[in-house]
């Protein structure tokens, strides 16, 4: 049965997330709920799913707790390189950016690429120049600095932690440094249209110029009104090779699977066999939402029209009003 209500879901990254007292987890729940509120406000006014997911991701980009926008991690040379993308399911329009430095909200730049550039993907200095032409907010490098992110870089550089290696080991200790950072949102609006948006600061200590799955349409993001809207978070190289987001769509369209079947098949099947770690959030044309992940945790949240927002971090939080 089709649920005609709007629905929006968000995530703030997955990985070997530290188990901590509730009071230290509270800011993450607040950040997720703020993002849900931003997106739901658009949908409540009859706005589009595309506008809603952009609003939600911009909220997460502005929160220094998450690895996107202001909270972006450092590259090996102690700079920030951000990627973002969005896609809408009605016309399959998409926009993406990669390797940008000074753009306050990379997802807004991805929207401009989709609407005004005539392209799908722009990178580096050319993308930043385009952002200035579009009048988007730009920030100095200091805006993106947080002491915690710099400490994570120094820890990695000292040999204390290899984030990709830590994320790939199921038995790795729970620690915030092991979080695989991306933020994302998917939504179905009251008109039945789907959209997805994603943004990331990349991987702590990554080689300058490395681009993960977030900016790759079909890998880290996909939306099609015929099936679903998907955004992923995890070890990006694996998600690219698995074409993970599109694979959820393909399983639904070509195999006849439901979202309930397709989403976990991707996360726990081929992706995991490749050594990929992480998860995804997805909503289908019927309004069903799925959030599978094969890591210790995934920051995530959900809001349906007429219902309170709910958020969760760990597997055992799955009773927080939605199915993990």
Q: Give the active site residue among 182, 200, 232, 235.
A: 182
**Residue in 228, 188, 236, 182 with CA at minimum distance from that of residue 53:** 188
Radius of gyration of the chain (CA): 18
Calculate ∠ Cα 244-304-234, nearest 5°: 25
Instruction: Tell me, yes or no, if 200 is annotated catalytic.
Output: no
Length of the chain: 324
* Other Cβ atoms within 10 Å of 81 Cβ, number: 25
Question: Using CA atoms, how far apart are residues 200 and 119, in angstroms rounded to an integer?
Answer: 20
In angstroms, the CA 310 to CA 283 distance is: 16
Q: Which residues pair with 217 in a beta bridge?
A: 221
Strands 183-188 vs 7-16: parallel, antiparallel or unpaired: antiparallel
Q: For the chain, first and last CA: distance in Å?
A: 21
What are the start-end ranges of the H helices in the chain? 22-44, 49-61, 106-112, 124-133, 147-157, 163-168, 236-242, 244-254, 259-265, 271-273
Say whether 272 sits in a helix, a strand or coil: helix
Q: How far apart are CA 305 and CA 107, in angstroms?
A: 24
Coil, strand or helix at 86: strand
User: What does residue 188 show for φ and ψ, rounded to 5 degrees?
Assistant: -125, 125
Positions marked active-site: 182
């Amino acid at each position: 049965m089709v649920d005609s209500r709007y629905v929006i879901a968000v995530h703030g990254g997955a990985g070997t997330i530290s188990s901590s007292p509730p009071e230290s987890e509270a800011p993450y729940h607040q950040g997720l709920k703020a993002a849900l509120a931003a997106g739901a406000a658009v949908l409540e006014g009859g706005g589009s799913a595309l506008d809603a997911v952009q609003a939600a991701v911009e909220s997460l980009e502005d929160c220094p707790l998450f690895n996107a926008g202001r909270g972006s991690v450092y590259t090996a040379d102690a700079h920030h390189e951000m990627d973002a993308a969005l896609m809408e399911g009605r016309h399959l329009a998409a926009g993406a950016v990669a390797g940008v430095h000074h753009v306050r909200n990379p997802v807004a730049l991805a929207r401009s690429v989709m609407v005004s550039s005539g392209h799908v993907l722009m990178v580096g200095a050319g993308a930043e120049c385009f952002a200035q032409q579009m009048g988007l907010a730009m920030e100095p490098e200091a805006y993106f600095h947080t002491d915690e992110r710099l400490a994570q870089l120094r820890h990695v550089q000292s040999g204390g932690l290899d984030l990709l290696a830590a994320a790939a080991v199921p038995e790795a200790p729970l620690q915030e440094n092991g979080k695989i950072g991306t933020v994302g949102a998917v939504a179905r609006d009251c008109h039945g249209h789907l959209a997805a948006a994603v943004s990331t600061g990349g991987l702590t200590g990554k080689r300058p110029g490395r681009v993960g799955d977030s900016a790759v349409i079909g890998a880290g993001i996909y939306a099609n009104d015929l099936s679903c809207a998907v955004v992923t978070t995890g070890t990006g190289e694996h998600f690219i090779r698995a074409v993970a987001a599109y694979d959820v769509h393909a399983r639904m369209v070509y195999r006849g699977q439901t979202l309930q079947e397709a989403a976990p098949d991707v996360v726990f099947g081929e992706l995991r066999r490749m050594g990929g770690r992480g998860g995804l959030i997805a909503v289908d044309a019927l309004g069903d939402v799925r959030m599978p992940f094969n890591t210790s945790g995934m920051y995530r949240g959900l809001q349906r029209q007429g219902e309170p927002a709910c958020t969760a971090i760990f597997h055992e939080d799955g009773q927080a009003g939605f199915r993990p």
